[in-house]
Structure 1
């Protein structure tokens, strides 16, 4: 590898690393005072993948309050909001 190719390769690695470091994770992990709550996420406001495998990313809930969609809520508030802390049974 000649010096020019090495310089170009180093520049590309630097750019790729900087781009990756700036990207935020799609879902934040739960804090100790939070729990997953199924059935309370509004359309497009779910925190991660659906329990039925319909999609694998946050923000992709198609409808409000789908039982397979979840979001993090403060512990002890899920059922008060009409949700459940366990995923629905698989069919």
Structure 2
């Protein structure tokens, strides 16, 4: 009987640990959450665009670093690339200067 109780106790401990890990996982996942980063995609390399861009979606951009087209990046990567979290008119001057 002691063996059976120990097995049940061990099973409960493992189940508790797994449920705690599942609760903590969403907070960790949010750190790497992707955002729409406008003005960082070369022509034909965009993930999508806002409605004003004149096309429907991925790989259809005709302009390098358009403020209307975005790539899905983490917020940190977007900031490092000098992108914007909102769409805007024109091209990204920070990216154009790198050419």
More helix by share: 2
Unaligned runs of 5+ in 2: 1-28, 90-99
Q: Write the mapping of 1:45-56 to structure 2, written as runs, cut at 5 A.
A: 45-56=45-56
Aligned length: 59
> Does the aligned pair in 2 maintain the 1:48–1:70 contact within 8 Å?
yes
Aligned mates of 1:64, 1:43 — CA distance in 2: 5
Q: Write the mapping of 1:25-64 to structure 2, written as runs, cut at 5 A.
A: 32=30, 33-64=33-64
Unaligned runs of 5+ in 1: 1-30
Per-residue deviation at 1:50? Answer: 3.6
Per-residue deviation at 1:75? Answer: 2.5
TM-score, normalised with respect to structure 1: 0.56
Per-residue deviation at 1:59? Answer: 0.3
TM superposition outliers: structure 1 runs of 4+ over 6 Å: none
Higher Rg: 2
